[in-house]
Structure 1
Amino acid sequence: MNWLRVHIVLERIDPLPVEQALVKLGAISIEFSDAADNPILEPAPGETPLWPTLCLRALFDRAIDDTTIQIAVAGAINAAPMPAMRFEEVANQDWIESWKQTLQPMRFGSDLWVCPTGTACPEPGGTVIELDPGLAFGTGSHPTTALCLDWLANCDNHTGTVLDYGCGSGILSIAALVLGAKRVLGVDLDEQALQATRENAGRNHVTKRLDVVRPESADKTLKFDRIVANILSGTLIELATELQTFCHTGTRIALSGILTNQAESVTTAYKSWVKFELPIERGDWALLSGTVIAT
């Protein structure tokens, strides 16, 4: 069965009524993207902002006709000018399996490998994380995650305890565990992230040494030997005091999700209790790492 995809350039038309009309019409999926070039790098907490000029893409069963969609959009925008619309037929396929075919094993440090499920590690005896893209938000391909994986892989001491704050897919928690961590605590606000972390940990046989909780459930009396937080600069600044409660003198810490031009402001929030090394950069992104000198 084929599908019908419609592209609508909404520009400054209110997207909500259009989205609601298309969902009512039977849209299987709806995606918003930037119709210009105005990136949203860091929304404020609690906000889900959209770009000032929008493009909407919706996917329908091919049985629906173009005119029906056009009528629904016209009814949703009231007196606004009719937006530009383009229709295309999309061949049916297993989207997740198609995406998996494009993924290849990736190496971090000297011998840490992230391999999609069912893919053999290119290096016999390498330390392997098996990750199913269908269950994960991160696979190591984004520079911020890659920087953290390199940092974990290159740590002098892989034992001890690790806090993964903002654990997402669990890739960093699992990396710490397969490298030899005694115990890891993964923390995330998103229940889906916690579920993905548990399932990916099960796939890698490390669940017995992993705990995953929401922030409010984390035991503030715990102290960790290493802390990794791959979030965003504004959130990292807000979390400085909370992360300090999980540290002892000598804790190694890595902060990622930071654009290079944001590194100074994040450093300022932590420098009273962390002695930072030089930032490690990859493209537009930076990782800040250092040692806790005061708690």
Structure 2
Amino acid sequence: MAWQQIHLQCANSQVEMAETFLMEAQALSIVMEDAGDQPLFEPMPGESPLWDDVIITAIFDASLDINFEEVAHQIAAQVDASRVWLSEVEDKNWEREWMKNYHPIECANNLWIVPNWITPPKPDATNIIMDPGLAFGTGYHATTRLCLDWLTEQDLTGKTIIDYGCGSGILGIAALLLGAKQVYSVDIDPQAVIATNQNADRNQVADKLQAFLPEAFTDFCEQNENILPADIITANILAKPLISLCPYFATLIKQDGKIVLSGLIESQLSEVNAVYNEFFSLEPAHAYVKQDDSHWQRLSGQRR
């Protein structure tokens, strides 16, 4: 089966109307992307910012009895689109297609990230077996690698770790494979909690990892006072939530406990460090995996 795509370029203010018209025309899905090169930084939970100029791509079943060119130009006129064009997509085994983009990654100190459908290239290494699923944290992003490299440099034996913003669970699972005693993983996304539990089971560490939504974690801590303070906090999120979470993190970690923060770019370091300086002594490090990643930063250090 082939798929027909309609592409429209229009102003931000026309996006909602364009979506409505496309869905009425029997679009199966709609994707939006930046028509220029306008960065959007750090949307908070519940926010859905859009670029000023947007390309909307709608996909249709090509077998529909529709004159797609006519429909495209009618909608383009209604939303004052600056461009309109069509394209076709041949059908593929999409369940397998996306897997082609993932391959084993070697991190620092013999730590590997291996997609669960691939045999580990070094069976004797510390192998994190991952299914990226729908959650952030495949290991391909520089911020994840910065945190993983930091974990390999720590003595994690017997340590209790809180992984805040856990995504796929990759940091907590790595910590357990490197010797940690217990990990508590937290994320605002229910899908992340599901993915973390699945990946923990896949790596045979599910008995040492518990995953929570934030409110559930707070309740758990209140009912189990012995779990705090933790030895280490990992948080690979973004600057704004990291800043707002700083006082809370300070209550979760013991004196001289260690913390690692990422999801930061160089221009954000001073603001984040200024806030954390009340509770933590932190030092920066930048990504060195690829030249294009060098703007990603990490802060790590100890609770004062």
TM-score normalised by the chain length of structure 2: 0.89
The aligned residue for residue 112 of structure 2 is 113
| Corresponding residue for residue 85 of structure 1 | 84
- Post-superposition Cα deviations, 1:45-87, rounded to whole Å, max 9, x if no partner, equal 5321000111111111112331353266258x3xx53441111
2:75 is matched with: 73
Bigger Cα displacement from structure 2, 122-131 vs 248-257: 122-131
Match of 1:42 in 2: 42
Question: Residues 244, 166 of structure 1: CA spacing in aligned structure 2 closer, same or farther, 3 A cutoff?
Answer: same
Q: Superposition RMSD on alpha carbons, in Å?
A: 1.8
Deviation, 1:44, is 4.2
- Which residue number corresponds to residue 173 of structure 1? 172
Whole-Å separation in 2 of the counterparts to 1:168 and 1:82:
37
2: CA distance between counterparts of 1:44 and 1:102? 29
Rounded Cα–Cα distance in structure 2 between residues aligned with 1:137 and 1:157 = 23
SS in 2 for 1:279: strand
- How far did 1:165 drift? 0.3
- Paired with 1:45 and 1:134, the residues of 2 have a C-alpha distance of 20
Give the direction of change, closer, same or farther, for the CA distance of 1:110–1:4 in structure 2 (3 Å limit).
same
**8 Å CA contact retained: 2:6, 2:72:** no
Residues 149-169 of structure 1: CA deviation (Å, up to 9, x unaligned): 111122133431110001111
Secondary structure, counterpart of 1:133 in structure 2: coil
Q: Which residue number in structure 1 is paired with residue 147 of structure 2?
A: 148
Q: Output aligned runs, 1:244-255, within 5 Å.
A: 244-255=250-261
* Segment of structure 1 superposing worse, 181-190 or 26-35: 26-35
Q: Deviations over 1:2-36 (max 9, x none)?
A: 11122211134421121122223322221111101
The alignment of Structure 1 onto Structure 2 pairs a total of residues equal to 290
- Is the contact between residue 100 and residue 133 of structure 1 (CA under 8 Å) also seen in structure 2? no
Structure 1, 239-248 or 45-54: larger mean CA deviation: 45-54
Deviations 1:243-285 (A, max 9, x none): 1111111211000001111011111111122111343344111
**1:215 Cα deviation (Å)?**
1.1
- Any stretches of 5+ residues in structure 1 without a counterpart? none
Structure 1 residues 69, 180: CA separation in 2 closer, same or farther (over 3 Å shift)? farther
TM-score when normalising by structure 1 = 0.92
Higher helix share: 2
Structure 1, residues 74-107: CA drift from partner, whole Å, max 9, x if none?
58x3xx5344111111011123411212311011
Question: Structure 1 residues 185 and 68 mapped into 2: Cα distance closer, same or farther (>3 Å)?
Answer: farther
After TM superposition, the runs of 4+ consecutive aligned structure 1 residues lying more than 6 A away are none
User: Mean alpha-carbon deviation: is it higher for 217-226 or for 162-171?
Assistant: 217-226
Cα 1:158–1:260 change in 2 (3 A) is: farther
Unmatched 5+ stretches in structure 2: 289-293
Identity, in percent, stands at: 39
Q: Which amino acid letter does the alignment assign opposite residue 136 of structure 2?
A: F
The aligned counterpart of 1:209 is 208
Q: In 1, are the aligned partners of 2:12 and 2:51 still within 8 Å (CA)? A: no
Amino acid of the structure 2 residue aligned with 1:193: A
Say if 1:69 and 1:131 are closer, same or farther in 2 by CA, change over 3 A: farther
Alignment pair present for 1:11 and 2:17: no
